Every structure is written in structure tokens, then in C-alpha cells.
Amino acid sequence: MGTPVRAGTAVLGLLLVLGTLGGCTSDAPAKPPPSGPPPVTDPTDFRHGPVDPSASGDAAVSVSTVARHLDIPWGVTFLPDGSALVTERRTLRILRIGPKRAANGTLTVSPVAKISEATSDNEGGLLGIAASPRFALDQTVYIYYTTDTDNRIAKLKLNERPKPIVTGIPKGGIHDGGRLAFGPDGYLYASTGEASRTEGAQDLGSLGGKILRMTTDGKPPPGNPFRNSLVWSYGHRNPEGMDWDADGNMYVAEIGEAVWDELNIIKPGGNYGWPNVEGIGGNPKYVDPVVTWHPEVGVSAGVAVLGSTAIITCLRGQRIYLVGVGGVGREQGAGSRPTEGGEPDTWGVRWRPGAGVTGRPVEALATKYGRLRTAIKAPDGSVWLTTSNRDGRLDKGPSTEDDRILRLTLRPVASPGPR
């Protein structure tokens, strides 16, 4: 395990790395690779960038292994004693990771519960988990899981059976969403997929294809945008990752279909377009994403925000992206300017400066650890990442180490001297 790095110091250094490696402060689009297409004239100021190994962000990160030999670890939440609870999607187990160390230097792993009410079904199973903000007093966690009939959210004490608080979330074997997290406002948020029922994403009467916001009893709290509804935003396909920055802005990583995966900044009541638009559509009815990736280099599944850097994990792309974030609220949301016509950019990445993103996303860890799903901030200022290599979708198959939980820190970089 590396020495913990304070998030503020690390982010400061990282911005220097991003500027050096990715050319993030340039006003001109990044150069295409020699064999790539010519630059696209884009009067709306969207940036296009090639996935260029020479612009790797590996120098900006340090990675060590927290735990090995897990089976599709999906949800992670931290407890007051410094340990973590981790769900395994297929085995339906909840594991406690740490806080003690094993003889090999990784953290100890011990099963603490199995959710027999859950059913593992393709992408379904035991998914998100979030510890109560009052865990030291109430010993309660919240879980998101698939049953034979639906997806549901339940509260759970580890020595008791789960007590459902939200039922009837559509299930489909795929596009089950499943992330849970408590927001800075103290309310519980959940991401739900449209379960292959695309029309449900636009239907405010359906819980599918949504970001939900609720009390710890599963009720709509004050401030929700639709009367007597859990819906916080809609028009989503399969959102899985969520986090907030220090200003309370909510970021969600969303898995798209055939063309674009997305990073969205969530506004209450916002319609994010699926299935009527995928990626940056420029239709004033919908909220555009701030970054998109082609699936070959993306399938964005997780997001964690450290200071002014968002760390995005990718499944099919088998990498992370480091995205400078800030300035949320400028030109973001429904009413965005339209993009150019014609075929979508084919270089892999598009981002929108001035709408919450400060520069070109920089990739790191490409193909080093396989499919990367969850990203979550740890209490020590690091980010934990989970691999998803035992889910049958990694071409070369899992390694003898898989599945793993990785600990990532941002490396501080010394400022260059005067020129």
C-alpha cells in the first residue's frame, strides 16, 4: 500500500500533469492520430480528442491492491472503524474488508451476510450498498438487489433479514442500474436502469431509467422536483456511478448503447434524453452530458470526485479517465447549444469546456487491470476501484488475482521552476 496522499495536494499536482500530458488548457482541439480522420469543425466549441497512448495519465496515479480473489465485487461502503462492506453481485454475499491486514499485506476479508432474497441474473444480483450516516448508532446499511420480480432497495442490519423500503424497480437481466449513495444533503440516492424497457426512461410513473432521491424510509423527501415522487432526474439508460463534488454538484456515470457512454451533471427534474438521444444531442428539451466516450474505450461505470478531478472507471474500455471538473452551471442543462450535423466524431472522446469540465479527459491504467467498475472515495483520501473480470465479459478471462479491489491515489507533482 502506498503512503496516503492528501486530496488537495494531489489534485494540485494532477492538474499540472493533465496540462502537460493532455494539453488541457489549449483552446484548439487535440491533434488527431496520424491515421485518424481530419479535425471536425465544431462551432459549438465541443472538444474532440484521440485516445492517444502518449497522452497517458499513468504518471498521475499510484495503484496498490487492497483485496484479491473476490467474485464480481460491486458495491462498496465505508464504516466508522475504517473497514469497508463490499457486495459480490453473483454470490449475494456482503464482505467486510479490513481494517486489519492479512499476512500478505492486503486487508483481511470476511463474509458477514448473504442476501438469500436476492437473485443473480446476468447483470442483476446484489448490487449497491450504502452505510447509514448514523451507522455507529443504528448499525444499518441500505442495499439494492434483484429478485425474481423486480429490483428493490432495503434497509439491513447485518444479523437480520432485509426490510424493503422501495420495490417495483424494473428488472430485465440487463440495465439494472443499482448504485446507492447518501448525498451531502443526508438523503439516499439510487441509480436505476431502464431494464431494456426504453420507454420507461421517459415515463415519470416508472422507477426505471432514473436517479431516485429518498428518505431512509424510502419516501419522497422535501425538495424533490415531482410531487409525491422519488424521481430526481430521468431519461437515463443505465447509470451506475455517482458522486458529489465539494460544492454539492452531483456527477453520474452512465452506460450508453452503441455510440456514446456519458458523464452527466445531474440537475433536479432534468431529462437526460434516453432513448430519444444518446450522447451530446444539442436538443433543448434534454440535458446534454459533459463528457462522452465511444464504448470501445468507455462503458463508463463509476465516478469518484477528488477536489477538481473526477475519476471515471470503464468496463469495456478497461481504463480510467481523469477529468478536470469545475465551473458547473455555465452552459449546462436543457437549452444547450446544438452540435454540428453529420456523423459523430470517431476518435473516442468528446467533452464540453465551460459546462463543468475544464479540459481534455486523460486516460490511465489502460488494460492493466481489466474491467473496472466501482470508484468510491475512501476516508484516507484515496479512491477504491473494483474489477469486474469474473463476469464472463473479459476476452482473455480473469487472472489468478481477480477479482480485486485497488487503491488509487493521485500523485503530487512538483511545480516546474521559472523559465
84 assigned to some structural domain: yes
Q: Which residue has the higher pLDDT, 376 or 37?
A: 376
Residue 173: the pLDDT is: 84
Main-chain dihedrals φ then ψ at residue 11, nearest 5 degrees: -65, -40
Residue 189 and residue 210 in contact, taking contact as beta carbons nearer than 8 Å: no
* Closest C-alpha to 266, from 293, 303, 219, 215: 303
Average pLDDT, the chain: 85
180 assigned to some structural domain: yes
| Residue 340: half-sphere exposure toward Cβ, Cα within 13 Å | 15
Q: Which residue has the higher pLDDT, 44 or 204?
A: 204
Which long-range contacts does 42-45 make (Cβ < 8 Å, 24+ apart)?
42/339, 42/340, 43/340, 44/282, 44/337, 44/338, 44/339, 44/340, 45/352, 45/353, 45/354
Show the cell assigned to 85. Answer: 462492506
Torsion angle of alpha carbons 312, 313, 315, 318, nearest 10°?
A: 110
227 assigned to some structural domain: yes
Residue 154 and residue 165 in contact, taking contact as beta carbons nearer than 8 Å: yes
Tally the domains of the chain. Answer: 1
| Cα angle, residue 20 at apex, residues 17 and 26 outer, rounded to 5° | 120
Note the residue count of the chain: 419
Confidence class for position 115, pLDDT limits 50, 70, 90? very high
Task: Provide the domain limits for residue 231.
Answer: 7-410
- Written in H, E and C, the secondary structure of 318-361 is CEEEEEEECCCCCCCCCCCCCCCCCCCCCCEEEECECCCECCCC
339 assigned to some structural domain: yes
334 assigned to some structural domain: yes
Q: Is 373 exposed, middle or buried (0-12, 13-18, 19+ CB in 10 A)?
A: buried
pLDDT, one tens digit per residue, over 336-389 is 333 332 234 445 889 887 788 988 899 999 999 999 999 999 999 999 999 999
Q: How far is residue 412's CA from residue 108's CA, in Å, rounded to a whole number?
A: 29
Residue 355: the pLDDT is: 81
At 238, the amino acid letter reads N
CATH (domain of 266): 2.120.10.30
Show the cell assigned to 416. Answer: 516546474
**CA distances for 328 relative to 15, 234, 243, 288, 310, angstroms:** 18, 20, 14, 13, 13
Residue 358 and residue 301 in contact, taking contact as beta carbons nearer than 8 Å: no
122 assigned to some structural domain: yes
Residue 76 and residue 374 in contact, taking contact as beta carbons nearer than 8 Å: yes
* Closest C-alpha to 117, from 85, 78, 86, 143: 143
Residue 104: the pLDDT is: 87
Residue 48: the pLDDT is: 54
Residue 382: the pLDDT is: 96
The pTM (predicted TM-score) of the whole model is: 0.86
Confidence class for position 47, pLDDT limits 50, 70, 90? low
Residues in contact with 113: Cβ distance below 8 Å, sequence separation at least 6, in sequence order: 93, 94, 156, 158, 159
Residue 240 and residue 179 in contact, taking contact as beta carbons nearer than 8 Å: yes
Which range in 45-49, 228-232, 338-342 is most confidently predicted, on average pLDDT?
228-232
Show the cell assigned to 341. Answer: 450535423
Q: How far is residue 35's CA from residue 23's CA, in Å, rounded to a whole number?
A: 20
Mean pLDDT, residues 70-83? 97
Residue 98 and residue 106 in contact, taking contact as beta carbons nearer than 8 Å: no
pLDDT over threshold 70, residue 23: no
DSSP designation for 311 = E
Q: Which residue has the higher pLDDT, 398 or 327?
A: 398
